[in-house]
Structure 1
Amino acid sequence: MDPITAAALAAMAGSAGSEAGRQAWSGLTDLVRRPFRRGTIPEPTGEGSPRVSSGELELTALRDDSTDPNRAQALVTALHVRAALDEEFRVRLDEWWRETQVAGRSQVSNNVSGNVSDGAVLQGRDFSKLTFNMSRGTRNPDPE
Structure 2
Amino acid sequence: MDQIAVDLLTRLAEGAAGEIGTRIWAGLSALVRRPFRQGDGASAPELSSGEAELVALEREPGVPERAQHLSTALAVRSALDADFRDALQQWHQQAQVQLLQAGADGTSSHISGGTFNAPVQQGRDFSNISFNLPAPPPARPSAD
TM-score (norm 2): 0.65
Moved over 4 A (4+): 41-44
- Partner Cα distance (2:60, 2:48) in 1: 19
| Unpaired segments ≥5 residues, structure 1 | 45-49, 109-123, 125-144
Shift of 1:43: 5.6
Match of 1:12 in 2: 12
Q: Are 1:75 and 2:89 an aligned pair?
A: no
Alignment size in residue pairs: 105
SS of 2:101 mapped into structure 1: coil
Post-superposition Cα deviations, 1:16-38, rounded to whole Å, max 9, x if no partner, equal: 67101110100000000111111
Match of 2:100 in 1: 105
- Partner Cα distance (2:17, 2:97) in 1: 19
- The percent of aligned pairs where both chains have the same amino acid is 46
One-letter identity of the residue aligned with 1:64: R
Aligned residues of 2:50 and 2:74 also touching (Cα < 8 A):
yes
Aligned residues of 1:84 and 1:90 also touching (Cα < 8 A):
yes
Aligned residues of 1:16 and 1:25 also touching (Cα < 8 A):
no
| Unpaired segments ≥5 residues, structure 2 | 104-122, 124-144
SS of 1:73 mapped into structure 2: helix
Aligned residues of 2:17 and 2:102 also touching (Cα < 8 A):
no
Aligned residues of 1:41 and 1:85 also touching (Cα < 8 A):
no
Match of 1:87 in 2: 82
Q: CA, structure 1 residues 103+26, in 2 after alignment: closer, same or farther (shift >3 Å)?
A: same
